[in-house]
Structure formats: C-alpha cells, structure tokens
Amino acid sequence: MNTTSGSLLFRLQHPPDGNVDQNAWEKFVQLYTPLMFHWARNVGLQQFDAADLVQEVLSIVFRRLPDFQYNTTGSFRGWLRTVTLNKFREKKRKRVTDVSVASNSVLE
C-alpha cells in the first residue's frame, strides 16, 4: 500500500447516515494496523507494547480524523506515522518521569 484511499478517509469522516461507518473503520484497521505495528516495532517496542501503542493511536485517529484535512499532495501515512511516533515519545517521557519520581520517593 503506497497511497491512502481518499474515498476511505471521506467515508470515515462523513458517514452516510451520520453514524460511525463500521465497514470503513474495519477496512482502515485492516490496512493500517500492520503498518503502525511495524513502526512501533522499529522504535524498539516489544510485541505487546507495540500492540498497546497501536490501540492508543487508533483511538487518537478516531477522535482526530473528523478534523483531518486530506490533501492529495500531502501524505496521510506521514501524518499517521507522526501521530504514532509522537505517542511513542509521549509514553517514553512519561515512563522516564514515573521512574524518576519513584526513585526520588525511595530515596527520601
């Protein structure tokens, strides 16, 4: 898959009856889960952590996609990769902060 289907994104953003287009989301998950999982594994996450990250990113995409402006000259996959890596970095920072706070409380 080298390109993103504009019609799929449109169906996700504008379901015909105003409700979630279940078929479109299933297609999206089927197409993009392996790619996001690949990106998560490439940054060093183990299988279960990568799967957790993908689930979190899917949740973010579900919330943010209605505001996403599809640009045929841009790259949806680039945006999705940025969301995935930013979520990874956020979790990594939080983990470091949590460990630091825990270490400091042990020393007190």
| pLDDT for res 103 | 55
Domains held by the chain: number: 1
Give me the residue label for tokens 């996609």: 65
Structural domain includes residue 72:
yes
Query: Predicted confidence band at 90 (pLDDT cuts at 50, 70, 90)?
Result: very high
Model pLDDT for residues 13-44, shown as the tens digit of each residue: 888 787 888 999 999 999 999 999 999 999 99
What does each C-alpha distance from 28 to 48, 53, 103 come to in angstroms? 21, 16, 42
Structural domain includes residue 98:
no
| pLDDT for res 13 | 87
| pLDDT for res 27 | 94
Looking at the chain, the whole-number percentage of residues with pLDDT higher than 90 is 50
Residues 73, 95 contacting (CB under 8 angstroms):
no
DSSP 44: T
Structural domain includes residue 59:
yes
Residues 11, 21 contacting (CB under 8 angstroms):
yes
Residues 85, 37 contacting (CB under 8 angstroms):
no
Structural domain includes residue 107:
no
| pLDDT for res 99 | 57
Mean pLDDT, rounded, for 78-93? 93
Instruction: Compute the 3-state secondary structure of the chain and give helix, strand, coil in percent, each to the nearest 5.
Output: 75, 0, 25
Structural domain includes residue 105:
no
| pLDDT for res 6 | 81
Q: Which two tokens stand for residue 106?
A: 């042990």
